[in-house]
Structures are given as structure tokens and as C-alpha cells.
A and B are shown apart, each in its own frame.
Chain A
Amino acid sequence: SQTIHQWPATLVQPVGSPLSLECTVEGTSNPNLYWYRQAAGRGLQLLFYSVGIGQISSEVPQNLSASRPQDRQFILSSKKLLLSDSGFYLCAWSQQGAGEKLFFGSGTQLSVL
């Protein structure tokens, strides 16, 4: 069976510090991978998606970047966090050609202070 791991569950970081959130998927190969964010009082917003190693598409301009160094690993990063980066970050995967069904990780609550 497939599983998705996302960590940490919660994170408190000072403004200007770097960020690295990691997500890994097991039990499948060549998945599509996604990073979503939910800011307070707003819906989930797609930040990045990837259809393969090293292939990253950004949906919105922001202070964040994503990388996919391995087939089932997706990393969300920032060099210098802003207050506005606070939110709930969710990693998700889908099978190639079946993008209408997403499987989500349990999320990371990021608080930038």
C-alpha cells in the first residue's frame, strides 16, 4: 500500500531563518507531487507541483521554492522566512494520469514569529 510521510508536524521559526520541509511517498513510483498551503482563514492553495525528478512548476510567486531530488521525495524550502509564510502546509501525491485523486500527508503547521 502507498503511504505519504510529511514532517515535522509543527514548526516555529523566527523571521529570516531558513526552512526545509520534507515529504516522502512509499509504495508507488513516479508519482505527481504537490505542495499546498492553507493560510489562516483561507482555502488550500497550490504552491508547487512536480511530474518528475527535477521538474518543478510554481503556481504562485512567493518566498518559497521546491525541489525533487529523488522520485518520491519532495522538499519545500525558503532561505529567509517571512511572517506571511505562516500557515498549514500539505504535501500530496497522485498517480500519473490520475491527477483527480490526491492523497495528502498530515501537514505541517508553520508559525513564523
Chain B
Amino acid sequence: AQSVTQLDSQVPVFEEAPVELRCNYSSSVSVYLFWYVQYPNQGLQLLLKYLSGSTLVKGINGFEAEFNKSQTSFHLRKPSVHISDTAEYFCAVSNAGGTSYGKLTFGQGTILTVHP
């Protein structure tokens, strides 16, 4: 069984400050890792994903995440946030390979609030 833990339920930051949203996972098999974002009154959107290769993954809107296998982490970072980054962020994991159905296990979500 897999599990995902997002260590912070809420993260308030000021505009132009850096931010890190933390995600740890547990799995007995190799995994794919994802970050999704949900803006107010919108559906989930894929922010970035790690499938293989470089452990530093760059996504949309200036976000990046680093896969650390030894620490089983996939933290999301942005060097300078904007008001428009205010949203809920979800970390997710799925089994690597296999049938590749979209059977994701999600974390509880982190609400990022950017203050002016």
C-alpha cells in the first residue's frame, strides 16, 4: 500500500518570498510522483510530474520539485511567489510502470496563501 503525507496543511507567505511545500511518501515499489494545483473554483491541474530521469523537475508557473529517493520526499518549491499562486496543492503518487492506469494516491493537500 502507498501513502502520501503533506506535512503542512496551510502555508501563508508574503508575495515575492520563496516557498516550499513538503511531501513525503511511502511505497514498496517504484513510483511516479505528481504535484497538482487547484485554484479557487477550478478543477485540479497537473503542475509537474516525475516519471524517471533527472530528479529535479520543472513545472508550470515557475514551480519545481526534487525527487529524493533516500528521503522518500518530493518537495515543491518556488523562489518567488505571486498572489496568483494562492491555491491548494496536492502531492500524489502512483506505481511506476505496470498498467499505468491513473490510480493515484493523494496527500491531504496544502493551502498556500500569498499575502501582499
Q: Do A and B form a real pair?
A: yes
Question: Residues on A close to B: CB < 8 A?
Answer: 4, 6, 32, 34, 36, 38, 41-46, 49, 51, 59, 90, 92, 94, 97-107
How many angstroms between the C-alpha atoms of A69 and B102 in the bound complex? 20
Question: Is A100 in contact with B102, judged by CB distance below 8 angstroms?
Answer: yes
Interface residues on chain B, number (Cβ under 8 Å): 27
For window 67-116 of B, CB contacts with A under 8 Å fall at: 90, 92, 94, 99-109
Whether the Cβ atoms of A90 and B4 lie closer than 8 Å is no
Query: Is B108 within 8 A of A41, CB to CB?
Result: yes
Given contacts A49-B101, A94-B102, contact A4 B108 (CB under 8 A): no
Residues on B lying within 8 angstroms of A by beta carbon are 4, 6, 32, 34, 36, 41-46, 49, 51, 90, 92, 94, 99-109
A-chain residues with CB within 8 Å of residue B103 when the two chains form the complex? 34, 46, 49, 59, 99
Q: Rank and list the top 4 A-B pairs by shortest CB-CB distance, nearest first.
A: A44-B106, A104-B44, A106-B43, A43-B106
Partner of A102, one of B4, B41, B102, B107: B102
Closest Cβ–Cβ distance, residue A103 to chain B (whole Å): 8
On whether the beta carbons of A44 and B92 are closer than 8 Å, the reply is yes
In the complex the two chains form, what is the Cα distance from A16 to B108 in whole Å? 28
| Contact of B94 with A100 in the complex, beta carbons under 8 Å | yes
Complex alpha-carbon distance, A94 and B49, angstroms: 15
Contact yes or no, A32 B102, CB < 8 A: yes
Q: What separation, in Å, do the CA atoms of A4 and B103 have in the docked complex? A: 18
With both beta carbons as reference points, the residue of chain A lying nearest to B96 in the complex is identified as: A100
> Complex Cα distance A1/B77, Å?
30
Given contacts A43-B90, A43-B109, A44-B92, contact A102 B104 (CB under 8 A): yes
